[in-house]
Structure 1
Amino acid sequence: MGAQDFWVVIVIGFCFHAQILSSQNLTCNPNDLKALEDFMNGIDSVIEGWGSDFSPNCCKWAGITCNSSSSLGLNYSIDTYRVVKLELPKRRLLGNLSASLGTLDQLRTLNLSHNFLKHLLPVSLFHLPNLKLLDLSSNDFSGPIPVDIDLPSVQFIEISYNFLNGSLPASICDSSTQLRTLKLAVNYFSGSLPPGLGNCISLEHLCLAMNNFNGSVPEGIFRLRKLTQLNIQDNKLSGALSEEFGNLSNLVRLDISTNGFSGTIPGVFYSLGRLHIFVAHSNRFGGQIPPSLSSSSTIALLNLRNNSLQGSIDLNCSAMTSLTSLDLGSNRFDGPIPSNLPSCQHLNTVNLARNNFTGQIPESFKSFHSLSYISLSNCSLSNISSALQILQQCQNLTTLVLTLNFRGEQFPADPTLQFEKLKILIIANCRLTGVIPQWLSTSSRLQLLDISWNHLEGTIPVWFGNFSSLFYMDMSNNSLTGEIPRSLTGLPSLINGRISIEEPSYDFPLFMKSNVSARGLQYNQVWSFRPTLDFSNNNLNGPIWPDFRKLRLLHVLDLKNNRLSGPIPSSLSEMVSLETLDLSHNVLSGIIPPSLVKLSFLSKFSVADNELYGVTPTGGQFSTFSSSSFEGNNLCGYDAAPCPSGRVDPLGTWFGKSSKDYTGVIAGVCVGFVFGIACFIGIDRHVWTF
């Protein structure tokens, strides 16, 4: 390095150091300081790292970024520093949003998401000339969006997950020609979608899901040629789908589910050459799947569940090379189950439940090696033995749902059956006969097992305790006998295991009972199944094991309508996650352990119709339970059976207050005492005489 180069490096280093020193002494513009102080005064909670006690220079406050006025192209006589970013997400901020923030005319980013800010949105926020990003999502704002919007620089707006209402301003895009993302989901907006949305000529992502919008999709939306994601699900939109959807040639994701759209699905999918996800479930579509959709080479996820589609299912699997998830459940499809599905090479998730199929599972499914998740519930299938023989050859099958089929057939006991990768098995409400088969023990990875509402007999196998990942077991409404295996009190996933559930795919449906009736079966997600042991409505006998206390992660223990006997173990109070404990309609005896008041999450409790006595516990959640939880016993202390005035002994029994109330008790004790002494003397004499 020459001498000249050396001095150049020294000068550059000096200037850089001077710049750092200058940046450490930034002084924000007085007007910006006043706006931030007003904002801070409107907040009911402390903003950590804010205020003159922390630093008199607001540019050093947490979440604040400043730029010099000269770098912003502002011609001030004295160079000051302007606030360009205010970012305080997830700070648990409480209170109102000050209108003074609208004076931060150099603000580029405003992110106050995931807080507890409330009341109206200040009109001034929608007149910030340089704002590019506005994120106020996940707060408690209410009222309408201001009608007069002037955000010429904005590119990103998200105000989802609030309590906003009213209609969407017709002029929302008039001055926001650079807007690329608009998210207003999960609010209470109503009225029709404004045609003015078509003026957002740069819009790429529009999300208006979970509101109360009605009417049809306005033609203006079909002018948004840059749109890649359109989410308008969970509204009250209606009418036929326009052929003009084909104009949105850049769409990657389209979700119009849970609305009132009707008519046929238009055959526009040849024009949607980038569409990856199409979700249109829970509408009123009829007719058949259009060929442009059933042969789309780009569709990976197709969800048309819960419509009125009919005819046979005719997918062109040789063309649908991207298809991974197919949901056609709850429609009116008929004929046989399509045998060509295994030729959809990447298809791993299939739901065909609640259709009008006939016959059996096709033999071709033996080569369905990509299949991981399948639901064929309520499809009028027959021959469960054949079905299981075929499906066991699906090498990657982890979720199998066959509810409401095979009526009255016998549960196969074929010892050659093996489902080693199975994690979820639901064969409920089939009225199957027989016993729980031994081959289930090969499914060591089971997490969820539901074989309820059948006619199964025999005992619950001891080897159920070997399922190390099992967190949900429903064997209710069968004819099972014998004791509850003690091994179930050692289920690792309910003791200290982390219950991690791998969802099948986007919105994959599973049948789950929402009440005690078989008609309560409905679609649900895996994550909604609370950790459960349900053995209700059987003929089980024996005790409730004290070692159930070890199941600290269990949420639901339902043992009602059996023949269980003995006391209620006080150790159940150690099941700290319990939300439901139903022991009603058994022959349990003794008292209700007072320690159960420690179950702070308990929301449903019943010991009705047993042989319990004494005083019901008080305090904790027990103050919220109705009298029906305790009736049919010899209990007192609840609303329907108050205890007579008097003292209560430590065991929970009670004695009356007046002397005549316990005269009989005293007499009985005296007689017993005299009899005991006489017996003792007799024995003593006998011993000595001998």
Structure 2
Amino acid sequence: MGVSCDLFDGLWYVTALSIGPILDNYLDCAPIVEFRPQLFELKHLKSLTFFSCFVSPHKHPITIPSKNWEKLAGNLETLEFRSNPGLIGKVPSSFGSLIRLQSLVLLENGLTGELPRNVGNLTKLKRLVFAANWFYGRIPDTLGGLNELLILDLSRNLLSGSLPLTLGGLNSLLKLDLSNNQLAGSLPTAMCHMKNLTLLDLRNNKFSGGLTKSLQEMYSLGEMALSNNPIGGDLHGLEWSSLQNLVVLDLSNTGLTGEIPESIAELKRLRFLGLRGNRLTGNLSPKLATLPCVGALYLDGNNLTGELMFSELFYGKMGRRFRAWNNPNLCYPDGLASTGHAPYGVKPCQQEVTLIEANTNSKLGDGNYNQNSHLMVSLGFSSYVNGGFWSFYLVQVFTMAQLLSCFL
């Protein structure tokens, strides 16, 4: 409902307002929207949402009022501004007075400035979303005091600097999304305290310093997305078998080196493995094909070598969701080419056939090769025959044995 009311002391009061096309019976936004003083007289208001009301940052830009929010502090539990590009300016510091807030969502607006430190006063928050705005500067360390927080989403902004160590204190956190910012530095070891975290999304930042071992202690992780960061290091520093709940592991374009450990094949719930665009080397373990749930393996753009030992059934199931191209020294058994299930973009392995020049002193039956004769290996037949039928038969047998030895 666009408006909800409840009864207090025999009188009806507004308890929820949803303005904009977000619900079935929503309140229409005015052609030119403004914040009126009467809004702050709704003393029993628990939920306030504005969706797609402030739509023009050029014709009708508007800022969030800096005053009077304390009048709603006694009851307001949900405050959301979604998809309002015309909503500009900074987050008012008076939001810090809304001590009963459980959900503060500022999503896809035109807001700017630094994140307010006094958001750390809102200790009852369970959801804090400041995504897709123009916020810049560091993440305030005061956020580490939000002990009841379940969702923290600061993605798609211009945030910079390193992660505050205090984030490790968010023991209840289920989702941490800091993707698409300019955050840098090493991944803090304090992250190991986030035992309940199911999603860690740090894509498209500037993190470095390798994969911290604390990641392996985040046992509840279902999704770990660290792609497009210059993290560096290798994959062998972590006990991957500790992360049995992983469904998505994306480490593409992170500067990883070394080999892919077999222990990744122990992640039985894994559906997506992204390791593309690194500097990984060595052979691929056939155990990767035994992952029971895997639906996509992205290994392209590395320095992997050797012969792929996956089955025809595996290639048929995966199709182009198995990506191993742009590994110049990787190949697949030549026999797969005729089945129609060869891995896309990978070349067949070349079988080497050794040509042996006949020794002038060698004898085959009663026949002698002269010094100028040569053995032509072609489907088991010799181009030179001497000594009658028996010599011709032995030449065939000898030639076929040499040919078979190249393929066994």
| TM-score interval for Structure 1 and Structure 2 normalised by the shorter chain | 0.7 to 0.9
Cα distance in 1 for residues equivalent to 2:256 and 2:330: 24
**Is 2:202–2:225's contact at 8 Å kept on the other side of the alignment?**
yes
Q: C-alpha root-mean-square deviation of aligned residues, in Å?
A: 3.3
Q: Which has the higher contact order (CA 8 A, sep 6+)?
A: 2
**Is 1:295–1:316's contact at 8 Å kept on the other side of the alignment?**
no
Q: Deviations over 1:74-114 (max 9, x none)?
A: 5xxxxx75555555753899xxxxxxxxxxxxxxxx9648x
Cα distance in 1 for residues equivalent to 2:156 and 2:2: 35
Change in Cα spacing, 1:140 to 1:426, as seen in structure 2 (3 Å) is farther
Partner of 2:246: 323
Q: Which amino acid aligns with 1:228?
A: L
Of 58, 62, 65 in structure 2, the residue corresponding to residue 143 of structure 1 is: 62
Change in Cα spacing, 1:343 to 1:86, as seen in structure 2 (3 Å) is closer
Alignment gaps of 5+ in structure 2: 56-60, 350-408
Partner of 2:188: 266
Alignment gaps of 5+ in structure 1: 1-61, 75-79, 94-109, 420-424, 435-690
Superposition deviation, residue 406 in structure 1: 3.5
**Is 2:160–2:183's contact at 8 Å kept on the other side of the alignment?**
yes
The 5 A counterparts of 1:476-495 are none
Superposition deviation, residue 344 in structure 1: 1.5
Partner of 1:312: 234
Percentage of pairs with the same residue: 24
Partner of 1:547: none
Superposition deviation, residue 232 in structure 1: 0.2
Cα distance in 2 for residues equivalent to 1:299 and 1:336: 23
Secondary structure of residue in 1 paired with 2:135: strand
Superposition deviation, residue 251 in structure 1: 0.6
Change in Cα spacing, 1:167 to 1:312, as seen in structure 2 (3 Å) is same
Cα distance in 1 for residues equivalent to 2:101 and 2:214: 32
Change in Cα spacing, 1:122 to 1:196, as seen in structure 2 (3 Å) is same
The 5 A counterparts of 1:501-512 are none
Partner of 1:625: none
Secondary structure of residue in 1 paired with 2:120: helix
Check if 1:90 corresponds to 2:21.
yes
Partner of 1:402: 324
Of 298, 308, 312 in structure 2, the residue corresponding to residue 387 of structure 1 is: 308
Change in Cα spacing, 1:90 to 1:160, as seen in structure 2 (3 Å) is closer
**Is 2:3–2:27's contact at 8 Å kept on the other side of the alignment?**
no
Partner of 2:173: 251
TM-score when scaled to structure 1?
0.45
The 5 A counterparts of 1:584-623 are none
Q: Deviations over 1:307-328 (max 9, x none)?
A: 1111211331332121111000
Q: Which amino acid aligns with 1:306?
A: N
Superposition deviation, residue 244 in structure 1: 0.9
**Is 2:103–2:125's contact at 8 Å kept on the other side of the alignment?**
yes
Of 55, 73, 77 in structure 2, the residue corresponding to residue 155 of structure 1 is: 77
Cα distance in 2 for residues equivalent to 1:251 and 1:83: 32
Q: Deviations over 1:555-614 (max 9, x none)?
A: xxxxxxxxxxxxxxxxxxxxxxxxxxxxxxxxxxxxxxxxxxxxxxxxxxxxxxxxxxxx
**Is 1:92–1:116's contact at 8 Å kept on the other side of the alignment?**
no
Partner of 2:146: 224
Partner of 2:259: 336
Superposition deviation, residue 426 in structure 1: 9.0
Q: Which amino acid aligns with 1:249?
A: N
Check if 1:132 corresponds to 2:46.
yes
Q: Deviations over 1:358-415 (max 9, x none)?
A: 23322322422332211112112345xx337358448964622234333797995626
Cα distance in 2 for residues equivalent to 1:184 and 1:354: 34
Secondary structure of residue in 1 paired with 2:111: strand
Cα distance in 1 for residues equivalent to 2:249 and 2:22: 41
Change in Cα spacing, 1:88 to 1:373, as seen in structure 2 (3 Å) is same
The 5 A counterparts of 1:67-78 are 71-74=7-10
**Is 1:116–1:140's contact at 8 Å kept on the other side of the alignment?**
no
**Is 1:371–1:396's contact at 8 Å kept on the other side of the alignment?**
no
Secondary structure of residue in 1 paired with 2:220: coil
Q: Deviations over 1:169-209 (max 9, x none)?
A: 112121x1110001101112111111110111211100001
Partner of 1:557: none
Secondary structure of residue in 2 paired with 1:318: helix
Q: Deviations over 1:536-561 (max 9, x none)?
A: xxxxxxxxxxxxxxxxxxxxxxxxxx
Cα distance in 2 for residues equivalent to 1:207 and 1:426: 42
Q: Deviations over 1:44-63 (max 9, x none)?
A: xxxxxxxxxxxxxxxxxx95
Change in Cα spacing, 1:130 to 1:117, as seen in structure 2 (3 Å) is farther
Change in Cα spacing, 1:139 to 1:392, as seen in structure 2 (3 Å) is farther
Superposition deviation, residue 127 in structure 1: 4.7
Task: Specify which structure has the higher proportion of strand.
Answer: 2
Cα distance in 1 for residues equivalent to 2:258 and 2:88: 47
Q: Which amino acid aligns with 1:129?
A: K
Cα distance in 1 for residues equivalent to 2:348 and 2:314: 24
Cα distance in 2 for residues equivalent to 1:128 and 1:81: 11
Cα distance in 2 for residues equivalent to 1:369 and 1:417: 23
Q: Which amino acid aligns with 1:143?
A: I
Cα distance in 1 for residues equivalent to 2:15 and 2:216: 50
Change in Cα spacing, 1:117 to 1:364, as seen in structure 2 (3 Å) is farther
**Is 2:5–2:12's contact at 8 Å kept on the other side of the alignment?**
yes
Q: Which amino acid aligns with 1:136?
A: F
Cα distance in 2 for residues equivalent to 1:122 and 1:411: 73
Change in Cα spacing, 1:407 to 1:226, as seen in structure 2 (3 Å) is same
Partner of 1:198: 120
- Number of residues paired by the alignment? 338
Change in Cα spacing, 1:88 to 1:127, as seen in structure 2 (3 Å) is closer
Partner of 1:555: none
Superposition deviation, residue 120 in structure 1: 3.6
**Is 1:111–1:133's contact at 8 Å kept on the other side of the alignment?**
no
**Is 1:283–1:307's contact at 8 Å kept on the other side of the alignment?**
yes
